[in-house]
Structure 1
Amino acid sequence: MSKIAMAAILALGLLVGILILQEVGRRLGERHLARDPESARAGTGVVEGAVFALVGLLIAFTFSGAASRFDQRRDLIVQETNAIGTAYLRLDLLPGDARSALQEDFRRYIDARLDAYRQLPDIQAALAGLTKATALQNRIWTQVVSAGQRPDAAPDAIKLLLPALNDMIDITTTRTLAAQMHPPLGIYLMLVALALASALLAGYSMAGGRSRNWLHMVVFAVVMAMTVYIIIDIEFPRLGMIRVDAFDQALVELRATMT
């Protein structure tokens, strides 16, 4: 089961759980009011305020972190495009026969990188694509070192090409690690636990009315569930609704120029 499917199930379960706990809190509040109406709400405002403030703080923290990592992943796609483009242009420093072979390898390399990310959410297929791209990296590096040492190569070919290739290779590791960078599971569990606790307290504060305020109960549950789902969706920008796929167009356009 994909992480986004799990997030949808979690959000649905949270929605139902919040509705149930609001009803439980309301009944507890009504029971307490019937038994001791004068002190039933004494001090509850302080506790409710503290819990809701903590929920808001945790939501802001997780959402801000997810949005920051989302932007970072988009920026890394642009950085990789620039690194590949720079290395490709510097192939002109090599002899003609070596340059042609390397240009073909660069085209295959970009295709492999694009295909790997298009395979998601099939993790195994994506890893196979990344492995193919890594093999092409090694092949390109070896060929550049060999071609750059030839007497008919430009004098500074090695000095200019190897740093560019190094940047091109390094950015792939950075992108892979960035895709695996997420908050600890405990953060999400705490967020869910606090959302359920706040639902219980919200239900308790609704006690005393003649009828249930379904509008407030449903809206509160829906907003909390959707917030948790969106946060998780942003954390996995190639699996859900919010995606970074559009930025792959930069690599596609670079590939189109390599004719």
Structure 2
Amino acid sequence: MLDLYQYPLLSLGLGCLALVLAPIEIGWQLGTRAKSSGGSNVFALEQALLGLLALIIGFSFLMALTRFEARREAVVNEANAIGTTALRARLLAEPHRTESLKLLQEYAHIRVENVRRGVSLADLPDVIARSNEIQEALWLRAKASAASDAALIPAGLFIQSLNEMIDSQGKRLAHLRNRIPNVVFVMLVVMTVISIGIAGYAGGLDLQRTRAPIYLTGLLLCGVIYVVLDLDRPNAGFITVSQQPMFDVISSMAAFSD
């Protein structure tokens, strides 16, 4: 099965533009040659296909927007979990406090280092592996701190927030990997090509029509498909998930006085 996520967003957008605009001209030429045969059925088919296409576009846009919001919320939740863990790490006795804070700073930094490259965290196995190593190292320090803490209050609070931080990574990765199936995009493009081709054919049958409205419709459809593709790629394109909550956590940890 073709994996659309292997191709750059711009290439997919240009390919979609060509696939949508070409059938307009082909349909128009065929329609002008078939004027004498009439086209009442074609006009009815045009309206039905455009209505079905609007339904599919709305469904696809809702899928992409829902996933985008879930990924944005996952960043906020993970940043909050890291920040809470860092605050509670300051309650630990030395040397666990300094070691844990150093690991947490690295943990937050590696999550934003590749943002400007437009690469999703789920597509960085080395970063995920290093994150898992840091989590294990933090857990060992929490275990050691609990063994030396008779009251278990600071260590217990740290362990609780550390568990939440570990869980937040799993949830964030799950949201990043929950992409719109390729078959939905393929069906969307196929329906657009067929519908816009029939619209071009119907335009060629009608002497009072011009190409401009149909081409404008095709451009608008391409724009909507591009937005759907963009929403489903949180670290590429024009619409990206803000990493500002993670930057704020990094800044707050850097400002710790002890």
Q: What's the counterpart of residue 215 of structure 2?
A: 218
**CA separation in 1, counterparts of 2:169 and 2:244?**
17
- Is 1:255 aligned to residue 255 of structure 2? no
Residue equivalent to 1:12:
14
Letter of the 1:134 partner, please give it.
N
CA distance in 1, matches of 2:205, 2:177: 48
CA distance in 1, matches of 2:237, 2:13: 14
1:131 to 1:115, Cα distance in 2 relative to 1, 3 A: farther
Aligned equivalent of 1:193, options 184, 190, 193: 190
Cα distance in structure 1, aligned partners of 2:215 and 2:47: 20
* 1:131 counterpart residue number: 129
CA shift digits 1:185-215 (9 cap, x unpaired): 1111111111111111111221245587232
Q: Which one is further off, 118-127 or 223-232?
A: 118-127
Contact 1:11 1:229 in 2 (8 A): yes
Distance 1:104 1:197 in 2: 57
Q: Could you tell which deviates more after superposition, 172-181 or 119-128?
A: 119-128
Contact 1:81 1:254 in 2 (8 A): yes
Structure 1 window deviating more from structure 2 (80-89 vs 95-104): it is 95-104
What amino acid maps onto 2:56 in structure 1? L
- Is residue 235 of structure 1 aligned with residue 227 of structure 2? no
Q: Residues 55-74 of structure 1 correspond to what in structure 2 (within 5 A)?
A: 55-74=53-72
Give me the whole-angstrom Cα distance separating, in 2, the residues matched to 1:70 and 1:124.
14
Structure 2 distance, partners of 1:200, 1:163, is 59
User: How many equivalent residue pairs?
Assistant: 252
Q: 1:9 to 1:100 in 2, by over 3 A?
A: closer
When normalised by structure 1's length, the TM-score is 0.86
Alpha carbons 2:28, 2:203 under 8 Å: kept: yes
Compared CA separation, residues 154 and 182, structure 1 to 2 (3 A): same
Higher mean C-alpha displacement, 53-62 vs 205-214: 205-214
Other-structure match for 2:101:
103
CA deviations 1:7-46 (Å, max 9, x no partner) are 4333323323333322222233333322x3xxx2233343
Q: Deviation of residue 117 (structure 1)?
A: 4.2
- Counterpart of 1:206, as a letter, is G
Contact residue 70 and residue 235 of structure 1 kept, 8 A: yes
d(CA) in 2 for partners of 1:21, 1:252: 47
- Distance in 2 between residues matched to 1:15 and 1:116, nearest whole Å: 30
How far did 1:124 drift?
A: 10
Q: Structure 1 193/241 Cα, relative in aligned 2: closer, same or farther at 3 Å?
A: same
After superposition, the CA RMSD in angstroms is: 2.6
For structure 2, the 5+ residue unaligned runs are none
Q: Give the fraction of aligned pairs with identical amino acids, expressed as a percent.
A: 26
Following superposition, the deviation at residue 104 of structure 1 comes to 1.7
